[in-house]
Amino acid sequence: MEGSSMEATLVRGTRGHRIRLRAGADACEALKRGDEVRLGLHPLAVTGEGQRPGDLSARPMLGRLSIPGSWRLHVDVRDGVVRIGPVIGIFTSSCRRGSRRPFAGLTARFRRFIALAREMGAIAYVFTPKGIHWQSKIIRGYTYLPAGKGHRWVRGAFPFPDVVYNRVPTRKAERRKSVREARLRLLAEPGLDLFNPEFLDKWSVYQILSKDETLRAYLPATTPCTGAASLLSFLREHGRVYLKMADGSLGKGTVRVELLKGGGFGWHATRPGGHMVHRTLRKEAQLRAALARLRRGRRYLMQKAVPLLKTGGRPFDIRALVQKDAHGRWLVTGMAARIAGRGQITTHRPRGGSRARLSPLIRSIFRDEAKARHITQELHRVIVRAAEVFDRATGDRHGELSMDVGLDAAGHPWIFELNSKPAVFDEPSIRRVARRRLLNYCFSCSGFAPRAPAAGG
């Protein structure tokens, strides 16, 4: 019985919930003799046998649970503890109650995640700091009922989860006092595993990766911009550089600066709305003034500009998603090319960028199957290595990362950025694999083995 994995059904009753075990005599005997019982991290008390042989009823001990719908879950009996679960919480910053999109652009992503979790035998729900009741170990959050049960978002009172997937959507939201304090308390909660704890600082990431001898050859020179003197020195060394906010995202605030052959400096910036501004600054004083307006007290980095491969005259880079599997190993889930818009300095979609399948694009450029295969294999090696190095240096606290990677004319990879809150990929095949792999990792964190989902989950 020790460590065995079985199933239970959680059924909504008129006075809360009852747990109907379908695990045979072993688990039922463990419950009857008074072994500790938990649903997620919430303790349960066994109240008696059910109407059918093998059924047992249990009730929450610290407060009243109200979990919408019924759920087929797993049972794990180990070291005198009967665990029912797993229970997975998705932590975010706010919810618009009554809206068809309560979690804005992440709503569909959360809905699909919850649906697959249900198929695999887990309770999954979304919650915000306002819903956490620390003393009773209950969280008021939201789950999605599938077809035949309402097809809608419903509110409930859920047990503290075994594992928390942090999906606070923006840096601004992450800085709120309520979000910051809740995240820190969740990280300190005994028995709870929270992963992807925070947004990343570009300079901190570079410092970690550049300490690895293998990765140094794949990192463009990067250093903080402390003022015009540092920018001028960096420009004289590299000729063309990117200025990036240390805590920026989606290419916001990015500027390309270059030394011009005839003297002066080229200044290429993106305005709100995606419009590009190209300026020629003839004097150093003009460069100093432009830099001062850009920085305004914000931390900027200087990164050597890598001449990227082009398709149709437009440069492209690669967005890669790397995730841990059920054994904690980093694997590349998917890669896709992102092509810059006409006249743009970044490849982001809001700036007119477009997407393309990576492998056919590489083959069409190099016209050499062996060369294309070698480039793809090297991309995989470098991306996995970067994830391993970064995660190990930050305490093994991440389950997924995305990376922006470029290829130069020789097909050599360059890692530009690493992100802890991957954007949704446009490619359906990548999204499907990503959901399943992410949930397998959640199961692994909680100590349960997943049930195989239906095809296409």
Residues 350-389 pLDDT 10s: 555 678 899 999 999 999 899 999 999 999 999 999 999 9
Q: Both 339 and 428 in a single domain?
A: yes
Q: Both 283 and 343 in a single domain?
A: no
State the pLDDT confidence band at 343, using cuts at 50, 70 and 90. low
pLDDT for res 12 = 64
Q: Both 343 and 271 in a single domain?
A: no
Residue 338 inside a domain? The answer is yes
State the pLDDT confidence band at 1, using cuts at 50, 70 and 90. very low
Query: Mind spelling out the 3-state secondary structure of 401-451?
Result: EEEEEEECCCCCEEEEEEECCCCCCCCHHHHHHHHHHHHHHHHHHHCCCCC
Residue 205 inside a domain? The answer is no
What is the number of domains present in the chain?
4
Domain that holds residue 341: 308-445
State the pLDDT confidence band at 328, using cuts at 50, 70 and 90. very high
d(CA 164, CA 131): 14
Tally Cβ neighbours within 10 Å of residue 349.
16
Q: Both 433 and 340 in a single domain?
A: yes
Q: Both 313 and 424 in a single domain?
A: yes
Is the per-residue pLDDT at 186 higher than 80?
yes
Tens of pLDDT, residue by residue over 60-76, are: 776 678 888 788 898 88
What phi and psi values does residue 125 have, to the nearest 5 degrees? -150, 160
CATH number at residue 417: 3.30.470.20
Q: What is the mean pLDDT of residues 256-285?
A: 88
Q: What is the mean pLDDT of residues 334-342?
A: 87
Q: What is the mean pLDDT of residues 41-59?
A: 72
d(CA 66, CA 140): 9
Residue 204 inside a domain? The answer is no
Q: What is the mean pLDDT of residues 402-406?
A: 96
Q: Which of 289, 304, 319 is the last residue of a domain?
A: 304
Phi-psi region of 228 (alpha: psi -120 to 50; beta: other; left: phi over 0): alpha
The pTM score is 0.90
pLDDT for res 31 = 63
Tens of pLDDT, residue by residue over 438-456, are: 999 999 999 998 766 555 5
Q: Both 319 and 440 in a single domain?
A: yes
CA terminus-to-terminus distance, the chain = 31
Are the C-beta atoms of 314 and 340 separated by less than 8 Å?
Answer: yes
CATH number at residue 133: 3.40.50.20
Closest CA to 166 of 140, 209, 111, 129: 129
Q: Both 260 and 152 in a single domain?
A: no
Q: What is the mean pLDDT of residues 342-357?
A: 69
d(CA 303, CA 222): 4
Residue 202 inside a domain? The answer is no
Tokens of 140: 């008021």
Question: Rounded mean pLDDT of the chain?
Answer: 88
